[in-house]
């Protein structure tokens, strides 16, 4: 059964058609990659799924529920978390506090219970702290847990972004270019971590430009170009697909000519 389904999703900004008629299905437990040249609409798809952009047309169905018209925080509460291309973090809190926020906010409908500092709340505080430390351990940030995010190197900031998303206990994790700007060692470590996340049962949609990573880790790949899906399939198929190669190489020719 498909965990996430996009049915004929279109998104335009005035005259600019960012995404056209996209059909996408993501099965539970897989790592599904979304690739395409710059400007193909990949981040737009993420923004539509998570509710940051309202879809111009089409439906987003998650776990059988139509989430197209929901607000970002409602979608997050239903189990979809994401990391951002530009690492966002809460700059005035430590790494540990950053991750803790994800725990405290998700799936908590009753804010009043939390304000009253009940015993139940305190116990869950301890639980949350334990789980937050586990996530920090997984993402390799243990030594920096009391640092301010602004002081961290780029790679660690990216890892923090993923950690914050993981703190929401998601069923589906959207990773937007998690290894961009990392050196080969960091990249290898991040790939391992993504695998571990999948092994915990979290479904992952990955947007990446580093082809090696994409081919290595994905179960299935969808390729976008100018907002259209041009092909979808297994990594080996995609590698050899003529249209895909043209989409990437064709771009290079245009840039050469310009």
Partner 1 sequence: MSRIAKIALGVLVLLLIAFPLLVNPYTVQVGITTITYSMLGLAFAFSMRVGLPRLDIGAWWGVGGYTTALLMKTGMSFWLTALIGGIIAVILGFLLFSIALPRGMMAFFIFCMVLSMAFYQMFGSVPLFGGWGGILDVPAPTIGSFTFINKPELYYMGLFFLALTLVVYYLLYNSKIGRAWAAISSSLKLARSVGIGVVRYRMANVLIGNFFIALAGSFFVAYYRAAIPTIFSFQAGAIVMVYLIIGGFMHFLTGPILGALIATFIPEFVSRFKGYIEYQSIAIAVIVILILMFLPLGILGWVDQRVKPWLYRRKWYWRISRWGVKEEREIPA
Q: By the criterion CB under 8 A, which residues form the site for partner 1?
A: 50, 52, 71-74, 76-77, 81-82, 84, 88-93, 101-102, 104-108, 111, 114-115, 117, 121, 164-165, 167-168
Encode burial over 26-53: b for 16+ CB neighbours within 10 A, e otherwise: beeeebbbbbbbeebbbbbbbbbbbbeb
Is 9 within 8 Å of 57 (Cβ atoms)? yes
For residues 105 and 230, which CB has a smaller minimum distance to partner 1 in the complex? 105
Nearer Cβ to partner 1 (8/74): 74
Measured from the CB atom, is 148 or 215 closer to partner 1? Answer: 148
CB of residue 132 to partner 1, shortest distance in Å: 13
What is the rounded CA–CA span in Å between residue 60 and residue 88?
A: 25
Query: CB of 101: closest distance to partner 1 in angstroms?
Result: 5
User: 221: which DSSP letter?
Assistant: E
Nearest CB to partner 1, comparing residues 121 and 215: 121
CB of 179 to partner 1, least distance (A): 20
Orientation of helix 119-138 relative to helix 184-199, angle to 10°: 130
Work out how close the CB of 108 gets to partner 1 at its nearest, in angstroms, rounded to a whole number.
Answer: 8
Strand arrangement, sheet containing 80-82 = 80-82, 172-176, 203-207, 31-35, 220-225, 228-233
Pairing of strands 172-176, 203-207: parallel
Query: Least distance from C-beta 225 to partner 1, angstroms?
Result: 27
Q: 90 or 226: whose CB is closer to partner 1? A: 90
- Least distance between partner 1 and beta carbon 123 (Å): 14
- CB 114, CB 108: distance < 8 Å: yes
Compute the distance between CA of residue 258 and CA of residue 253 in angstroms, rounded to an integer: 9
Going by the DSSP 8-state scheme, the letter that residue 33 receives in this structure is E
Residue closer to partner 1 by CB (options 4, 223) is 4
Is 202 within 8 Å of 171 (Cβ atoms)? Answer: yes
């Amino acid at each position: 059964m498909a965990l996430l389904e996009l049915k004929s999703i279109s998104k335009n900004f005035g005259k600019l058609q960012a995404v056209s008629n996209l059909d996408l299905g993501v099965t539970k437990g897989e790592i599904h990659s979304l690739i395409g040249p710059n400007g193909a609409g990949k981040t737009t798809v993420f923004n539509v799924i998570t509710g940051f952009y309202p879809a111009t047309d089409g439906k987003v169905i998650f776990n059988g529920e139509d989430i197209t018209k929901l607000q970002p925080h409602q979608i997050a509460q239903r189990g979809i978390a994401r990391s951002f291309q530009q690492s966002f973090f809460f700059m005035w809190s430590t790494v540990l506090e950053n991750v803790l926020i994800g725990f405290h906010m998700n799936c908590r409908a009753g804010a009043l219970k939390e304000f009253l500092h009940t015993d139940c709340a305190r116990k869950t505080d301890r639980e949350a702290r334990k789980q937050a430390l586990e996530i920090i351990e997984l993402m390799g940030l243990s030594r920096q847990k009391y640092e301010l995010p602004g002081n961290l190197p780029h790679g660690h900031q990216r890892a923090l972004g993923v950690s914050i998303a993981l703190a929401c206990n998601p069923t589906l994790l959207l990773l937007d270019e998690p290894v961009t700007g990392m050196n080969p060692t960091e990249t290898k470590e991040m790939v391992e971590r993504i695998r571990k996340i999948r092994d915990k049962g979290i479904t992952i949609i990955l947007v990446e430009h580093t082809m090696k990573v994409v081919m290595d880790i994905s179960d299935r790949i969808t390729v976008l170009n100018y907002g259209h899906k041009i092909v979808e399939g297994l990594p080996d198929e995609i590698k050899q697909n003529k249209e895909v190669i043209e989409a990437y190489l064709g771009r290079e020719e245009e840039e050469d000519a310009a």
